[in-house]
Structure 1
Amino acid sequence: MFTRITLLKTISSLLLIACILLGSFAQTSYAQEDLMEFAEKTGFPVKEAYRPKASIVIDADSGQILWEDQPDLAWSPASIAKVMTMYLAFEAMEQGKFDLDTTITATEKDVKVSQIYALSNNKIALGVDYPIRDIFSMVAVPSSNVATLMLANLVSDNDGASFIRKMNDKAAELGMNNTTYFNCSGAQIGSFEGLYQAEGIDPNGENKSTARDLAILTYNLLKKYPDVLQFTSKPVVKTMENTPYEETFETYNYSLPGAKYGYDGVDGLKTGSSPLGGFNYIATAKKGDLRLIEVILGVGSWSDQEGEYERHLAGNAILDHAFSTYEYKKLLSKGSNKIEQKEINLEQDLYGFVNKNSEPSFTLADGQLSLKSDLGQVSPNIPAKSVSYQDSETQTGNNNSDKTNAQKTSQSAETPKKEHNYLISSLLAGLGLLFLICSRLFRKRIAGVKRGSHTIATPTTRLFFTLGALSILSAVGAFLFL
C-alpha cells in the first residue's frame, strides 16, 4: 500500500509540475497582451511599422514593473541623454554649487554652437546672462544642444571629459548596468565642429542605454529631484521672458495634455530622436495618487518623420493599458493575517499594485512581507515595498505533542483517501496538460517586425487555456485539500 501511494503521489506531482511549467509559459505569453490588439481598445491605434523596439512601464513609487517588452535591448537614446545631464545639474545644486537663479554668461563658443544647423538648438546671444531655470527649460523642451553644453560646462568647470565620466559613474551607481555615455547631449562630440572638447573620449562614440536603465534613471530623478517636472509639464514654454531674448517653444512631447496626442495625467519628461535611434521618449503620468514612468524606444525610422508623432500613439496605448489593467489598493491590513499557511502579525497595512483580474501573492523573508509581482522590480537596487511582520504565538509543547499523537492515530485511516486523492489529482493534471498543449497548437501566427513573426491568442486558444487552467486548479485542490 505504501508503494502504491508513493507511486501515485510521484506521478501526480510530476504531472502538476509539468502543467505548472507549461501553464506559466502559456500565461506569460497570454498575459503580455499584444500591443496591436489592446491599442485598438484604448483608442490609440498603432500601425505595425511604428511598433516600439523596446518599452517599459513602472510604478514611480515602488519601481514595480507593470509592462515590459525587450526592456534590456541596447539602443541609442538620442536626446534622452540630456536627462542624465539634468540629473547631475540638480545634484550639483543640492550640493550648493549653484541654484536656479545662478546665471551663465554666453561665450563666443556658445554662440557658435547655437548656430550649428544640424543640431537642435535655440538662439544664444554673446555676453547675455542666462539663468539656470531658463537653461533647464531650453534643455527639456526644444532639446537645445547649446544649452545642454552650457549646463554641463557649469557643473564640470568646462571639463567635458570629466562630465562624461560623471555621467557614466552615476549610471553605474544607480544600477544602469547597460548604459554608456560618450557625450552629454545625445549628439556625438564630432557633430559640434570642434567646439566640444572631451579629451580621451571617442568623438564618434554613440550613447547606449536600455528601456530598463532609462526607467531606473527617471525613477531616481523623480525621487530625488521632483522639481524637474516644472520644466517638462507644459506644452508651450517661454524662456528669457520680458527681455529682448525671449523665445517661445512648443513641446515635442505630444502626449502632454494640450498637445497633439495629449493623454490625461502626463506631465513630462523628455523626447529624443536620431538617425540611429529612431524616435524615443520618456513619459511620466499621474492619476490621483498614482504615478507611472514609461519609456518608449525605437519607433519608426529617421527617414519617416511620422515616427515623431506615432511614438505617442504607442506610448499612450501602453500607458493606458497599464492604468486600466492594474490598481493600487490596500492588500493586507495591520494585525493578524494568514500567509502561506502561516499565521503572522503585520506591523502596518500593506499597499501595492495588483492586476485587477488576479489575486495578490506574497513573499515572506527575514521578517519582511512583500508583494510578489509577475514582472518583478525594475532593478535589484530598488527592493519591492514591504512591511515588517512577526510570527504569531505557537501552541504550547503539550498541545503540539497531543496534536502529533492524534495525527499518528488517524494516519492509517487516511491512507485510502490519500490514494484516491492522488489518483484524481493525476487525472485532472493530465487533462489540464492536454488543454494547455492545445492552447499552444491553435495560436494564430502573424508577421511581426521585431522577431520575424509571433503568435497571438484566438478565442479557441483562450478557451483551451481557460479549461486547462481550471483543470490544473482542480488538480491542485485534489492534491492538497480533498
Structure 2
Amino acid sequence: MMRKKVKKKYGMIMLSLLLIAGLWLPASSVQAAETMKVNAGAAILIDADSGQVLFEQNADKMLGIASMTKMMTEYLLLEAVKEKKVSWDQEYTVSDYAYKISQDNSLSNVPLQLGKKYNIRELYEAMAIYSANAAAIGIAETVAGSEEEFVKLMNRKAKELGLKDYKFVNASGLSNSDLKGMHPKSGTPKDENILSARATAKLAYELLEDYPEVLETSSIPSKTFREGTEMKNWNWMLPSLVFGYKGMTGLKTGTTDFAGSCFTGTAERDGRKLISVVMNAKDAGGKSSHTARFTETKKLLDYGFNQFEQKEVFKKGYQVKGQKTVKVSKGKEKEVAVRAQSPYKIYVKKGENPNFKTVFEPKNSSFNKDKEIEAPVKKGEVVGFISVSMKGGSPVKYVTSEEEKQAKVPVVTTEKVEKANWFVQSMRAVGGFFANVWHSIVDIVTGWF
C-alpha cells in the first residue's frame, strides 16, 4: 500500500511539473506544435512574390488537375501573342473536333458552330472565365496547328519552367475518355493530365510572374459570349459571387471524376499576394463537391493572411561576419569591402522569433584559385550571395529550388578598385619572392633543431 501511495505522489509531482513547463513554453514552440489540416488529396500555399511555401500537404503527390490544365494553355497562348506568332484578332475556323466537343452539354462549353470563325480573344475569354473546353482546343490548334503538337509544347514548357512532377495529355484538362475518340494520339483513352500540388503552384507562380494580365480576365464574374451565351465564372470566390472572398483575383477551377474538385486560387490583401492550390477537395462528410474546393481554399488563404507576418532578417548594406571584405589581386588596394545589395525578408508565423544564420557564398566566376577577385573592380560589382537558414523552427522553403536560389541576396563591392601599375605589381612580386625565400630558410633552420 505504501509503495502505491509513493508512486501516486510521484506521478502527481511529475504532472504538475509538466503543466508548469507547458505554461512557460515560448510562443514559437506552442505554435509549432499546432497543425492545420486541409480536407483535400493535396494542398499548398505560397507567397506569390517570392515563391516561399507557407503550407504544404502531400504537395508532391501526383494527382489529376482537370481544368487547372488550362493555366498551361493560357501561358502558351500569352507567350505566342507576346512573340507575335498569334494575334488577339486572329480568326479561328472551328474544326470538326472542336465542334463536337462544344456541343456536349455535360461539359463546360460555349457552343461553337462548325466552320464558323471566332477570334482568339473570344476563345481565350471563354476558356479563362467559363473554362470552355472546345475553346481550349481551338486555341491549341491555332498556336501549334493541332492539339497533338500543342501537347508537346505543354510538356516542353513544363520542363523549361522547372516543374518537377507533370504529365500533360491534352489542352483542356478533360479526361481523354471524354474527347470522343479524338484525343491526341500520343496518349491513350485512359490518360489524364496530372501534376503535383507543388508543380501546379509553380505553374501558377510562373504564369503570374510572366503574364500578370491573366488576372484581368480571370477576375471577370460574367460576360456575354457571342449569340447571347452568358458565361458565368466558375470561381465562385470572386468578391461579387456567392462564396465571395475579399481580395480574390483568380485563377482556375477544375473538376472531373478522376481529379475530383480542384482549385488554384490567387488573392491579394494589403499588398500581399498568395497562391493556393487544393486538389480533390472534400467536404466534412468526405464527399467531393464544388463548394468543398472553396471552403478549403478559404481555410488556406485565411491561414496565410492571418497567421503570417513579414520579418526583415537583415537590411540593405548588411555585412556577413568574417566576410566584410574580399581580397583583390593586381589592384591598388589589396581588398575591398562588400555588403548586401538589398534587404532580406521572409514570412514567419506570428509569435515566432526564429534565429537566422547567414552565409556568404562567393560567385565562382569572380574569384581565382587563390580566392581573390582581379582588378579593376567596379563599384557595385556582384561577387557573391547571402543565403539564409533558420536555427531551429521551420525551415525556409520555396516552391522549387529555382526560387530558393533567387531568394539569395547579391553581395556587391562598396567601391571601385583600380588596377595597380606594372611597377607596383613588380615590387609586390619581388617582395613576395623574398618573403617566400625567407620562410623557406626559416623552415630549413627550424628543421636542423
Query: After TM superposition, is the score higher than 0.5?
Result: yes
Q: What is the count of residue pairs matched by the alignment?
A: 347
1:33 and 2:19 aligned: no
Give, in whole Å, the separation in 2 of the partners of 1:390 and 1:304. Answer: 54
Residue aligning to 2:177: 190
Q: Is the Cα contact below 8 Å between 1:63 and 1:378 reproduced in 2? A: yes
CA deviations 1:274-324 (Å, max 9, x no partner) are 1121100001111232211111111128x9987211211111111111111
Tell me how far 1:105 sits from its aligned partner.
2.4
Residue aligning to 2:294: 312
Q: Is the Cα contact below 8 Å between 1:63 and 1:384 reproduced in 2? A: no
Deviating more after overlay: 180-189 vs 345-354: 345-354
Which of residues 140, 150, 164 in structure 1 aligns to 2:151? 164
One-letter amino acid of the structure 2 residue matched with residue 213 of structure 1: A
1:101 and 2:89 aligned: yes
Give, in whole Å, the separation in 2 of the partners of 1:28 and 1:137. Answer: 47
Deviating more after overlay: 283-292 vs 98-107: 98-107
Residue aligning to 1:277: 259
**Structure with larger Rg:** 2
Change (3 A) 1:125 1:309: same
Tell me how far 1:350 sits from its aligned partner.
2.9
Give, in whole Å, the separation in 2 of the partners of 1:32 and 1:142. Answer: 38
1:173 alignment partner, SS class: helix
1:154 alignment partner, SS class: helix
Residue aligning to 1:82: 70
Give, in whole Å, the separation in 1 of the partners of 2:108 and 2:295. Answer: 24
Q: 1:238-257, aligned counterparts within 5 Å?
A: 238-240=224-226, 245-257=227-239
1:348 and 2:342 aligned: yes
Residue aligning to 1:116: 104
Q: 1:68-79, aligned counterparts within 5 Å?
A: 68-79=56-67
Residue aligning to 2:210: 224
Tell me how far 1:109 sits from its aligned partner.
4.1
One-letter amino acid of the structure 1 residue matched with residue 106 of structure 2: A
1:53 alignment partner, SS class: strand
1:121 alignment partner, SS class: coil
One-letter amino acid of the structure 2 residue matched with residue 229 of structure 1: L
One-letter amino acid of the structure 2 residue matched with residue 250 of structure 1: K
Deviating more after overlay: 164-173 vs 303-312: 303-312
Tell me how far 1:137 sits from its aligned partner.
1.6
Give, in whole Å, the separation in 1 of the partners of 2:132 and 2:282. Answer: 23
Residue aligning to 1:200: 186
Q: Is the Cα contact below 8 Å between 1:181 and 1:207 reproduced in 2? A: yes
One-letter amino acid of the structure 2 residue matched with residue 119 of structure 1: L
CA deviations 1:100-152 (Å, max 9, x no partner) are 22221224443322112332211112343322222112112221111111011
2:46 alignment partner, SS class: strand
Change (3 A) 1:387 1:306: closer
Change (3 A) 1:109 1:291: same
One-letter amino acid of the structure 1 residue matched with residue 411 of structure 2: Y
Q: Is the Cα contact below 8 Å between 2:260 and 2:288 reproduced in 1? A: no
Change (3 A) 1:231 1:149: same
Residue aligning to 2:9: none
2:187 alignment partner, SS class: coil
CA deviations 1:247-274 (Å, max 9, x no partner) are 2222221221111221111100000011
Aligned-pair RMSD on alpha carbons?
Answer: 2.9
Give, in whole Å, the separation in 1 of the partners of 2:174 and 2:209. Answer: 27
Residue aligning to 2:249: 267
One-letter amino acid of the structure 1 residue matched with residue 261 of structure 2: F
Which of residues 284, 295, 319 in structure 1 aligns to 2:277? 295
Q: Is the Cα contact below 8 Å between 1:182 and 1:203 reproduced in 2? A: no
Comparing both chains, which one has the higher relative contact order based on Cα–Cα distances under 8 Å and sequence gaps of 6 or more? 1
Tell me how far 1:353 sits from its aligned partner.
2.5
CA deviations 1:61-85 (Å, max 9, x no partner) are 1111111111111111111111111
**TM-score, normalisation: structure 1:** 0.66
Tell me how far 1:32 sits from its aligned partner.
5.6
2:346 alignment partner, SS class: strand
Residue aligning to 1:125: 113
Q: Is the Cα contact below 8 Å between 2:66 and 2:193 reproduced in 1? A: yes
Residue aligning to 1:381: 402
Residue aligning to 2:163: 176
2:125 alignment partner, SS class: helix
Q: Is the Cα contact below 8 Å between 2:170 and 2:183 reproduced in 1? A: no
One-letter amino acid of the structure 2 residue matched with residue 354 of structure 1: V
Q: 1:464-475, aligned counterparts within 5 Å?
A: none
Residue aligning to 1:215: 201
Give, in whole Å, the separation in 2 of the partners of 1:390 and 1:104. Answer: 52
Q: 1:438-477, aligned counterparts within 5 Å?
A: none
Runs of 5+ in structure 2 lacking a partner? 1-24, 325-337, 363-383, 415-449
Q: Is the Cα contact below 8 Å between 1:368 and 1:388 reproduced in 2? A: yes
Change (3 A) 1:200 1:128: closer
Change (3 A) 1:63 1:32: farther
Which of residues 369, 375, 393 in structure 1 aligns to 2:386? 369
Residue aligning to 2:47: 59
Instruction: Indicate the structure with greater helix content.
Output: 1
1:264 alignment partner, SS class: coil
Give, in whole Å, the separation in 2 of the partners of 1:28 and 1:306. Answer: 33
Change (3 A) 1:94 1:296: same
Give, in whole Å, the separation in 2 of the partners of 1:124 and 1:340. Answer: 66
Tell me how far 1:330 sits from its aligned partner.
4.2
Q: Is the Cα contact below 8 Å between 2:261 and 2:288 reproduced in 1? A: no
Runs of 5+ in structure 1 lacking a partner? 1-22, 37-50, 393-482
Residue aligning to 2:12: none
